[in-house]
Amino acid sequence: MSIDKNKVQTQEETGEPAPVDQVEERVEAEMELIEGRAKERVAQGMQDKKLEEEAHREEEDALKKLHEKTTD
């Protein structure tokens, strides 16, 4: 069995992202989520409401990114 090189399409030609790139984006979103949660806990310990609210917003943004990456 041989492969006809004229009929082969690359990911670049189809516009399809490589699986490794998809995983990388998801891992980055997960890391942002972990960072936001840690920041929120530190803010709670310091009793810093402003920092806690900022961390909560970051956590929500990371959750949205993660949801987008897992549903693609």
Query: Domain spans of the chain?
Result: 17-71
pLDDT attached to residue 38: 93
Q: Would you say 32 and 62 are in contact if contact means Cβ atoms under 8 Å apart?
A: yes
Q: Would you say 45 and 16 are in contact if contact means Cβ atoms under 8 Å apart?
A: no
Question: CA 63, CA 29: separation in Å to the nearest integer?
Answer: 7
pLDDT attached to residue 72: 64
Q: Kindly give the residue spans of alpha helices, DSSP state H, lying in the chain.
A: 11-14, 19-46, 49-71
Tens-digit pLDDT profile for residues 37-49: 999 999 999 999 9
